[in-house]
A and B are shown apart, each in its own frame.
Chain A
Amino acid sequence: MSIEIKTHSVEPIRQTYAHIARRFGDKPATRYQEASYDIEAKTNFHYRPLWDDKNTLNDPARTALSMADWSAVSDPRQFYYGAYVGNRAKMQEAAESSFAFCDKRDLLARLPEATQKQILRLLVPLRHVELGANMNNSMIAGDATATTVAQLHMYQAMDRLGIGQYLSRIALLMDGSTGRGLDESKSYWMDDALWQPMRQLVEDTLVISDWFELTLVQNVLLDGLLYPLVYDKMDQWLGEHGAEDVSMLTEFMRDWFKDSQRWANAMMKTVTAENEQNTELLQSWVDRWEPRAYQALLPLAEATPGTAALDETRAQLAARLKKFGLQSQGVSA
């Protein structure tokens, strides 16, 4: 008896959802596309929200920037919820093993008191900056219209909460989880002259009402200066001053910053390429906020690797902005 094996293939009636097919054509779509495009409500808003009687729900007028289609701003990493969580879980696993190692060997609690104090004064107060970044990004996620944009900022907000928690845990490793280290570091944030310009800047960003201005200030200008300064230059400086073990615990931040720059750059590129008015408006915001971010970091830079290090990161940011056709003031490069 002979057996003949045949294969039958069944053509699916449709490859994806109709709204995805209208945008990308009727072909197999990625999960990112299906989870991110054209799922927000756009029309038929009968009532204005009670909390904002000037705009409708999902009103594109919440930013002065204009885009024919905000979905053009999308995530080059193609993070939808599942992909995002999977990726961050991997990063977190690595960070957790570093924290466990430090805890087991008591690496931070063994540091001289003066060094511990330096960490509490110069590094840990940044957790308050992270909380500000969390709130700012949550607000953007609420106000942005396209899901691709809102999604990016919501993940960014969650990342910032996580980074804030890692910074807090550095203090907890030193004070034996009593919370004294956190109290001490908060007193620096509230009262130390070194932190006051930064605290003022963070508080001022909390009330920026144009959401794209906010994402520019938070995710491009402030982070663009802060992360290279703190987690590269200051990290090196801390290492030279006897606290090299802390580097292990901030590795997450370095990896994360590299990752977040990808979408921030893609977003800026798309928005400036759209039209001239966008670029002009962005330029005026850069002129207003970039010097403030610089000033806010100046005392921290002076206390740690020096102003030259901050100027170097400022030049890096200027070079980055130049790629989007934007000029940053105060940098000769």
Chain B
Amino acid sequence: MSQLVFIAFQDNDNARYLVDAIVEDNPHAEVQHQPAMIRIQAEKRLVINRETVEEKIGRDWDVQEMLVDVISIGGSVDEDDDHFILQWN
């Protein structure tokens, strides 16, 4: 059985920086640009690091801010101040 985790964002200006950051931290991730939506899926695990996102957007960033632009997620969430991790345990 394939073990894909995914996260889907609205295709807006916030999300583009998030996608850049995610691609940098997860080279194995696959990005799908769909109408008005960007879906990122990866085998087993997908990590979003606060530090990488802050570097991309050039300001302080709270992991919770991301949720405004999230459409859907698949996987178990492990979240703290510095990371948002999706994985199948």
List A residues at the B interface (Cβ < 8 Å): 9-10, 28, 30-31, 75-78, 83, 87, 259, 262
Contact = CB atoms under 8 A, between A and B. Distances in A.
A78 B34 contact: no
B27 interface: no
Given A28-B11, A30-B17, 17 more contacts: A9-B34, A9-B35, A10-B35, A28-B16, A30-B13, A30-B16, A31-B13, A75-B58, A76-B58, A77-B57, A77-B58, A78-B17, A78-B57, A78-B58, A87-B59, A262-B58, A262-B59
Contacts of A9: 34-35
Contact-residue size bin, chain B (C-beta under 8 Å from the other chain): 10 to 19
Contacts of A75: 58
Contacts of B11: 28
Interface of B: 11, 13, 16-17, 33-35, 57-59
A75 B56 CA distance: 11
Contacts of B35: 9-10
Contacts of B34: 9
Give the most central of B11, B17, B58: most A CB within 10 Å: B58
Contacts of B17: 30, 78
B64 to A, nearest CB: 16
Contact of A259 (B13, B16, B59): B59
Nearest to B33: A28
Contacts of B59: 77, 87, 259, 262
A75 B58 CA distance: 8
14 contacts: A9-B35, A10-B35, A28-B11, A28-B16, A28-B33, A30-B16, A30-B17, A31-B13, A77-B57, A77-B58, A77-B59, A78-B58, A87-B59, A262-B58
